[in-house]
Amino acid sequence: MLTITIIVLIAYLIFMLWIGNYAASKSKGKTEADYFVTSWTTGYIGISFSIAATFASGAYVLGTIGVFYGNPANLTGYAFGTTFAPFMLWMLGRRIWAIGKRYGYSTFTDLIGDFYQSEKLRVVVSILICIFFAPYLAVNFMAPAILTTQVSGGAIPFWVSCLVFGVITTIYTWRGGMRGVIWTDIAQTLGCPLNTALGRMHKAVLKLRQIMEL
């Protein structure tokens, strides 16, 4: 079982690296706009899959379930915000996208700095984003590491899993930019129901075998 787990994990990581490298080969130019916002060419399908992958990240799958189990009331605000997030994204996101494409903004801080005509504000917002996103990124490295350690029965140490997932994610993001991130998001989002279906089929086959052996 451990051997199969390691083989599947290695194949998955190699596949993610391949997607990131392939995304880099499809770059339309070594420009800031192409790297950060895919030159504004990503459509609704890619964005939708990327958002779905974000909501199904380790922070969500493990974190929110744990919070809900321990204290359901604490999850009320998060659930409320998640419910209305798609509507806010539709109303504000597409307008921000259009403004960014028109004026050549590659990051959210570019928009903020230009709108308020303040370079200092742009720097402050950039620093705040880094500060608040650091724990989120750390949790998303820790979550798959926890699962890997559990599935392997402790054979794969937690710190090794964290390091491997962190390095792999950094490489395909660095190589493919936002295009690589979106394409890996699509692959992983499609992989979730597929893996669930395969898992259920495996359990069904085992139960059928047990019945036949009676």
Predicted confidence at residue 192, as pLDDT, reads: 78
Most confident of 79-83, 151-155, 176-180: 176-180
| pLDDT of 77 higher than 80 | no
DSSP per-residue letters across 49-117? HHHHHHHTSHIIIIIIHHHHHH-GGGGHHHHHHHHHHHHHIIIIIHHHHHHHHHHT--SHHHHHHHHTT
- Pull the structure tokens for residue 88: 């806010």
What is the SS3 assignment for 173? Answer: helix
Q: In the structure, what pLDDT confidence band is assigned to residue 32 with cuts at 50, 70 and 90?
A: confident
Share of the chain above pLDDT 70, in %: 98
pLDDT digits (tens, 9 = 90+) for 56-69: 777 677 777 777 77
- Based on its alpha-carbon atoms, the radius of gyration of the chain, rounded to whole angstroms, reads 20
Share of the chain above pLDDT 90, in %: 21
Selection from 177, 50, 32, 28 nearest residue 109 by Cα:
32
Residues 15 and 169: beta-carbon distance below 8 Å: no
Whole-angstrom distance, CA of residue 63 vs CA of residue 66 = 5
Report the number of distinct structural domains present in the chain. Answer: 1
* Two tokens, residue 38: 């895919």
- Decide if pLDDT at 29 tops 70: no
Residue 160 clears pLDDT 80, i.e. is over it: yes
For residues 34 and 177, the answer to whether their CB atoms sit within 8 Å is yes
Question: For the segment 138-149, what is each residue's pLDDT rounded down to a tens digit?
Answer: 888 888 898 888
pTM for this prediction: 0.80
29 vs 19, residue with greater confidence: 19
- Nearest-angstrom CA–CA distance, 134 and 143: 14
Span 158-178, mean pLDDT? 91
Compute how many other C-beta atoms are within 10 angstroms of the C-beta atom of residue 149. Answer: 18
Q: Which domain holds residue 194?
A: 2-213
